[in-house]
């Protein structure tokens, strides 16, 4: 998405993974056709809506910013696993012992993958 379009997005946020979810990250190489995915959520209390660009989660180790990963997430014991690709956007070290707060940008290489990410994001609203 070019800079002009990005400036038009009023509220860009990361979905917060529930603390009980199970997340696995595997390093992978960037796929040539990957692009960042922005999902427009239905309604938001602020005018203009909100666009979701990724997932915020706690992870037990530090992943280098910019690293491309395959992310697998299971939201609950009775839900199916969701696998997607993207890159690590930001990592905050814990103040004391604990997990690293990690921001992950969704990326897709096809409309089918982008639609799958949108369906996954819809489970949060």
Q: Is 25's pLDDT higher than 50?
A: yes
Answer yes or no: is pLDDT of 5 > 50: no
Q: Give the CA distances from residue 36 to residues 22, 47, 60, 75, 96, in Å, rounded to whole numbers and listed in that order.
A: 23, 24, 25, 23, 32
Quote the domain boundaries for residue 35: 3-122
Q: What CATH number corresponds to the domain at position 62? A: 2.40.10
76-92 pLDDT, tens digit each: 778 788 999 999 999 99
Q: SS3 for 45?
A: coil
DSSP SS3 for 122: helix
Number of domains in the chain: 1
């Amino acid at each position: 998405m070019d800079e002009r379009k990005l400036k038009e997005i009023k509220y860009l946020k990361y979905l917060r993974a529930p603390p009980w979810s199970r997340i696995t990250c595997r390093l992978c190489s960037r796929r040539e056709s990957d692009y960042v995915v922005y999902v427009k959520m239905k309604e938001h209390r602020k005018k203009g809506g909100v666009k979701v660009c990724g997932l915020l989660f706690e992870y037990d180790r530090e992943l280098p910013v910019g690293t491309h990963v395959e992310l697998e997430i299971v939201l609950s014991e009775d839900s199916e696993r969701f696998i997607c690709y993207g890159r690590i956007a930001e990592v905050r070290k814990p103040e004391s012992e604990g997990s690293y707060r990690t921001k992950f940008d969704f990326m897709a290489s096809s409309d089918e993958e982008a639609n799958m990410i949108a369906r996954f994001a819809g489970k949060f609203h």
